[in-house]
Structure 1
Amino acid sequence: MKHIIITGTSRGIGESLANQFIDPSHHLICISRTVNQGLMARAKELDCHMDYFNYDLTNIGGLDQLCEEIFQRIAVHSSGEAVYLINNAAMLIPVCPIDQLVTEQIVENLHLNLLAPMVITSNFLQLTKHMNVDKRILNISSASAKYILPSQSAYSTAKAGLDTFTKCIDIEQKLAAYPAKAAAVYPGMIDTSLQSDIRSVPAELFPYVNEFIQLSEEGKLHSPEYTASKLIEILVSEDFGKTAIVETID
């Protein structure tokens, strides 16, 4: 049995990832602020083991306890051959120049996009370091970590930090007795709520908004389902972890 932990499963890529992983041979652990009742019903119908944790990942102080509870559930299904972690949950907003942001907006963005993946990964590695099984960490990053646009300073900084963090994990785990593999992936332009958010930003706050609107109107955004299938291909590949940063999924 594969144990697969996925954050941000209420919608978008996270929901599509969970849907495609639903299988009797998998134990899915889903985490999101809003419980996805559709996923739970489908998992029950298809006899897939699923534990769903209704949790706000911006609450960094409770993540240690959350991870303890997750691994208590994993211990129940102790015959696992693999444990995978997909840090997917993210937020784009606020999209505006840094001098117009309030402290709470910056903190919330960095908590969800960077600190939560770091703390969850730290717990994941601590709680699995004795396990001689296939361990993989997939961090969903963004080309915004590399290609900088105005009014996305919080998001771009967080994703650049996530890339660096992934590189650090890669180096450290090469020294571990039972190492985990890690990679950060740029999933491309996807038709999710993050894209909807950026298309709704006034041009005076985000000068490139019309370009994003045009991409949507021309049908150049990938679907969450397509993107999830490509991410799963990367995650289960024999080559996973050979490159710490994967900049394309095509």
Structure 2
Amino acid sequence: MKLAMITGASSGLGLAMTEELLAQGWYCITIQRSTRGLEGLLKEYGVIQMPLPDSRRQGRGALEVIHQDLRDCAALPEFLEGLYARVLDILGTSGKPEALWLILNAATLDPVAPLAQADSKALENHLSLNLLSPMIFISAFERIFASVAGRAGFAGAGVKESSPGGSGAPGGLRPDSTRPQTGGALRAESSRLGPDRASGPGGSGAPADSASQSERAPGVPGSVRDAGSGAPGASQEAGAGAPGASREAGAGAPGARAETLRVDKRIIAVSSGAALHAYPGWAAYCASKAGLDQVMDAAAQEAGVSGSGTFFRAIAPGVVDTPMQEVIRSRGPEQFPMVQRFRDLYSTGGLSSPAQAAAKVLSLAAQGKEGYLRLDVRTA
């Protein structure tokens, strides 16, 4: 199984990358505030039950959609504990985990204005979404997935293969038992994208007991739930994949052994030319993208020290025909003095389509064995 988490996937480049990965057979989990652009993919790829065995899946992609406001950085640590525990469980039950990618795409351009005119709350929201939330995602990723060896390879501490009759699926991989337990504040969407429902085909038209089935099986993909996972103080019984689930019986059972799991672990951040070149009216955007490049570089160096085996890629997709470009063209020269350049690019066909940019970004993301690379689709 190849699994990717993508932030900001409801439109533009994020949606196109999700479509491309699903077509390649990836298991995709998308996280975003607005999910209205994902209805079609949910009908085709949505997951409401346990992943089918490889022999039945036949390389078909699968999709889970999670609603989360990434500007609310205070809520992210608990959210990510639950999300990443879920990912460990999905990888563990897949039998053949191959790749684990985190694609940091969610971003805003606003405020587009001279810094002297920028609203302080807008600046705070901008930096929370574009810079602080990616830092929190990366921090939790490197901590929680430390038990998953990257391609460099090391014995995954706390990653166990269950013995026959032990807890979990045969050969299942389970998270380390030393992390604090949390139910995970996850919220999902149905195919109609109503709040607090498991994503997947059928949505509200699914069998009436599908939600209760999910609650009875906390580790089942597609059963992303509210904080608390269905009951006050619910601990997600041992073996459900929650951080802190001890699995002492399984881990200590005769025949249990440490597993060296070699997975292609990558964190991909969508960068921008604005990370390298300052534009008047884009002070916040330039700062957040430059900062994100530096975060990725520093995190890659830290990964080299820790031996986590994670590859880091910051990739500038070029000028892409997305809703962000519509925002740019709508602003006046008093807000963004260089607006005419972007209007001309649009009118002369100088923008890449999201699908074209997504294919190039994902191709570049998979390349290289260096710890950190900053790449641009226009020059790579």
TM norm structure 2: 0.63
Which residue type is aligned with residue 123 of structure 1? A
State the alpha-carbon separation in 1 of the partners of residues 349 and 31 from structure 2.
Answer: 30
State the alpha-carbon separation in 2 of the partners of residues 26 and 243 from structure 1.
Answer: 23
Q: Number of matched residues?
A: 249
**2:261 equivalent to 1:244:** no
Please say if residues 4 and 84 of structure 1, whose CA atoms lie closer than 8 Å, have aligned partners that are also in contact. Answer: yes
**2:85 equivalent to 1:85:** no
**2:224 equivalent to 1:95:** no
Please say if residues 230 and 249 of structure 1, whose CA atoms lie closer than 8 Å, have aligned partners that are also in contact. Answer: no
Structure 1 unaligned spans of 5+: none
Please say if residues 304 and 371 of structure 2, whose CA atoms lie closer than 8 Å, have aligned partners that are also in contact. Answer: no
Going from structure 1 to structure 2, the CA distance change for 1:55 and 1:241 (only over 3 Å counts) comes to farther
Secondary structure of the residue aligned to 2:63 is strand
Residue 50 of structure 1, CA deviation = 2.1
Secondary structure of the residue aligned to 1:30 is strand
Q: C-alpha root-mean-square deviation of aligned residues, in Å? A: 1.7
Which residue type is aligned with residue 96 of structure 1? A
Match of 2:87 in 1: 74
Secondary structure of the residue aligned to 2:292 is helix
Match of 2:43 in 1: 41
Please say if residues 141 and 162 of structure 1, whose CA atoms lie closer than 8 Å, have aligned partners that are also in contact. Answer: yes
**2:301 equivalent to 1:171:** yes
Residue 240 of structure 1, CA deviation = 5.2
Going from structure 1 to structure 2, the CA distance change for 1:243 and 1:173 (only over 3 Å counts) comes to closer
Residue 158 of structure 1, CA deviation = 0.2
TM norm structure 1: 0.94
Match of 1:215 in 2: 345
**2:349 equivalent to 1:196:** no
Secondary structure of the residue aligned to 1:17 is helix
Match of 1:150 in 2: 280
Going from structure 1 to structure 2, the CA distance change for 1:151 and 1:24 (only over 3 Å counts) comes to closer
Structure 2 unaligned spans of 5+: 48-56, 150-262
Going from structure 1 to structure 2, the CA distance change for 1:240 and 1:88 (only over 3 Å counts) comes to farther
Going from structure 1 to structure 2, the CA distance change for 1:247 and 1:62 (only over 3 Å counts) comes to same
Farther-moved stretch of structure 1 (108-117 vs 29-38): 29-38
Greater C-alpha Rg:
2
Residue 249 of structure 1, CA deviation = 4.4
Which residue type is aligned with residue 37 of structure 1? E
Secondary structure of the residue aligned to 1:10 is coil
Please say if residues 141 and 185 of structure 1, whose CA atoms lie closer than 8 Å, have aligned partners that are also in contact. Answer: yes
Please say if residues 12 and 224 of structure 1, whose CA atoms lie closer than 8 Å, have aligned partners that are also in contact. Answer: yes
Going from structure 1 to structure 2, the CA distance change for 1:70 and 1:84 (only over 3 Å counts) comes to same
State the alpha-carbon separation in 2 of the partners of residues 204 and 24 from structure 1.
Answer: 44
Which segments of structure 1 move beyond 6 Å, counting only runs of 4 or more?
none
Match of 1:21 in 2: 21
Match of 2:74 in 1: 61
Please say if residues 181 and 240 of structure 1, whose CA atoms lie closer than 8 Å, have aligned partners that are also in contact. Answer: yes
Q: Which has the higher helix share?
A: 1
1:127-157 CA distance string (max 9 Å, x none) = 1111122210100010001111100000000
Residue 199 of structure 1, CA deviation = 0.5
Equivalent positions of 1:106-117 (< 5 A) are 106-117=123-134
Going from structure 1 to structure 2, the CA distance change for 1:220 and 1:240 (only over 3 Å counts) comes to farther
Residue 76 of structure 1, CA deviation = 2.9
**2:354 equivalent to 1:224:** yes
Please say if residues 318 and 378 of structure 2, whose CA atoms lie closer than 8 Å, have aligned partners that are also in contact. Answer: yes
Going from structure 1 to structure 2, the CA distance change for 1:86 and 1:242 (only over 3 Å counts) comes to same
1:173-214 CA distance string (max 9 Å, x none) = 111233201011111100001111010001111111111101
